[in-house]
Amino acid sequence: MAETALTNTIEPPARPGGWRGIAADWSSDQRAFKNVSWGKAMMWIFLLSDTFIFSCFLLSYMTARMSTTVPWPNPSEVFALTIGDKRIPLILIAIMTFILISSSGTMAMAVNFGYRRDRVKTAALMLATAAFGATFVGMQAFEWTKLILEGVRPWDNPWGAAQFGASFFMITGFHGTHVTIGVIFLIAIARKVLRGDFDVERRGFFTSRKGHYEIVEITGLYWHFVDLVWVFIFALFYLW
């Protein structure tokens, strides 16, 4: 991708491949990850830290679920919807998962068009991703409302262990917050893309740094991460 001079970096001289290449990079000067910009490196390290946060949440939930003496409510029944006259288990969660995974697809396409400097398509795909994300959060709000109406509270629920409601609201709430933040960032950056900020290297309002198309990919990293976390929540909370 020779046309994508994204940042003010200069190609370093050719380096050996494979493990030798990794050793050469780490024993070299200036940068340990060659061709990785500061922003991207920072996002990766942040995601590593965030992984630990979600892992702690999920491990705590699993500890509570395994150690409780009261029966745990059956997620297939709790998260079932009656459509027509049929009761379909996990249907809403399945749709939510499908939507979120689809949003990863549109995000990946947005990154691709960003590198091609196609302003309109990049912005449109980012907005589509944001719309998928907002739909996801909306459906989560619906699910929360439904459960609350059925009597689920963080401290109590009609079917079994109190930790069910506590874990559910805490983990999906924390994940939903991540999605919401992602939606806000997607909209803000789509606006910048559409306005052509990255073509004229307009300076950021707060940071006064020049903007680059790479920020689309960095936002994408965050978005894919949030999707990936959802897969784990889906598997460990709903399918278990």
Partner 1 sequence: MVDVPFDTVAGIPPAEVGEVDLYHPKSWWTRYVFSQDAKVIAIQYSITAMSIGMVALVLSWLMRLQLGFPGTFSFIDPNQYLQFITMHGMIMVIYLLTALFLGGFGNYLIPLMVGARDMVFPYVNMLSYWVYLLAVVVLVSTFFVPGGPPGAGWTLYPPQAILSGTPGQDWGIILMLASLILFIIGFTMGGLNYVVTVLQARTRGMTLMRLPLTVWGIFTATVMALLAFPALLVASVMLLLDRLLGTSFFMPTLVEMGQLTKYGGGSPILFQHLFWFFGHPEVYIVALPAFGIISDLISVHARKNIFGYRMMVWAIVAIGALSFVVWAHHMYVSGMHPYFGFFFATTTLIIAIPTAIKVYTWVLTLWRGDIHLTIPMLFALAFIVTFVNGGLTGLFLGNVVVDVPLSDTMFVVAHFHMVMGIAPIMAVFGGIYHWYPKITGRMLNEVLGRFHFWVSFLGAYAIFFPMHYLGLLGMPRRYHDIGETAFVPASAHDLNAFMSVAALIVGFAQLVFLFNLVWSLFKGKEAGGNPWGAASLEWQTPETPPGHGNWGKELPIVYRWAYDYSVPGAAGDFVPQNEPPAGLLAQGAGP
d(CA 100, CA 88): 20
Q: Is 63 in the site for partner 1 (CB under 8 A)?
A: yes
Binding partner 1 (rule: CB under 8 A), the pick from 12, 16, 71, 138 is 12
* Alpha carbon 24 to chain centroid, angstroms: 33
The site that binds partner 1 (CB under 8 A) totals a number of residues, namely: 51
> Looking at this protein, which amino acid is placed at residue 214?
E
Q: Is 209 in the site for partner 1 (CB under 8 A)?
A: yes
Binding partner 1 (rule: CB under 8 A), the pick from 80, 81, 99, 162 is 162
82: its two tokens: 């009656």
Q: Is 46 in the site for partner 1 (CB under 8 A)?
A: yes
d(CA 214, CA 37): 9
Q: How far is the CB of 213 from partner 1 (least distance, A)?
A: 17
b/e for 153-189, b at 16 or more Cβ within 10 A? Answer: eeeebebebbbbbbbbbebbeebbebbeebbebbbeb
Q: Is 98 in the site for partner 1 (CB under 8 A)?
A: no
Q: Is 181 in the site for partner 1 (CB under 8 A)?
A: no
153: helix, strand or coil: strand
The residues binding partner 1 (CB under 8 A) are: 8-13, 26-34, 36, 38-39, 41-42, 45-46, 48-50, 52-53, 55-57, 60, 63-64, 67-70, 154-155, 161-163, 165-166, 170, 174, 206-210
